[in-house]
Amino acid sequence: QKEVEQDPGPLSVPEGAIVSLNCTYSNSAFQYFMWYRQYSRKGPELLMYTYSSGNKEDGRFTAQVDKSSKYISLFIRDSQPSDSATYLCAIPQRSSNTGKLIFGQGTTLQVKP
C-alpha cells in the first residue's frame, strides 16, 4: 500500500461550488498533515497544515483530519477560477529525522467561471 494516496482527478466545478479534496495515508503514526497548492510549472505553495485530528479553518479553506480512518480532506468554499491548480497533500515521514515530506499524486482542480 502506498504511503499517501490521492485521486489525481481532474476535478472540474463551476465557480461558487464547494470543493472537497481528499487523501488517504497508511501509517497511523503520522501526526502533521499539510496541503500545498501548485500552479502549472510553479513550486508547491503551502496552504494549510494541521496537527492530529479535527478541523482547521482559514478563510475559504478548511482542512480536516480523521485519524481513525487515516483520511485527510481539504474543503474550498465559494471556489474561484483563481483556485484552479493542483492540490497536493503532504505528510512529514515520522521515521525521518529531518521530516522529509511524502506527497500525494496531487488533484488537479479546474474552477469554471
Task: Give yes or no for residue 77 binding other proteins (CB under 8 A).
Answer: no
Our CB check for other proteins shows the closer of 19 and 89 to be 89
Q: Residue 45 interacts with other proteins (CB under 8 A)? A: yes
Among 71, 80, 100, 112, binds other proteins (CB under 8 A): 100
Residue 13 bridge partners (DSSP): 111
Give the Cα separation of 17 and 78 in Å (integer).
5
Q: Which part of the chain contacts other proteins (CB under 8 A), choosing from 18-26, 33-41, 56-64, 74-82?
A: 33-41
Cα–Cα dist 12/52, whole Å: 30
**Residue 31 makes contact with other proteins by CB under 8 A:** yes
Using the minimum distance from each CB to other proteins, give the nearer residue, 55 or 96: 96
CA angle (29, 35, 40) in 5-degree steps: 140
DSSP state of 25: E
Q: Does 74 bind other proteins (CB under 8 A)?
A: no
For residue 105, give the 3-state DSSP assignment: coil
Cell of 66: 480523521
Q: Which residues bind other proteins (CB under 8 A)?
A: 31-32, 34, 36, 41-46, 49, 51, 88, 90, 92, 94, 96-106
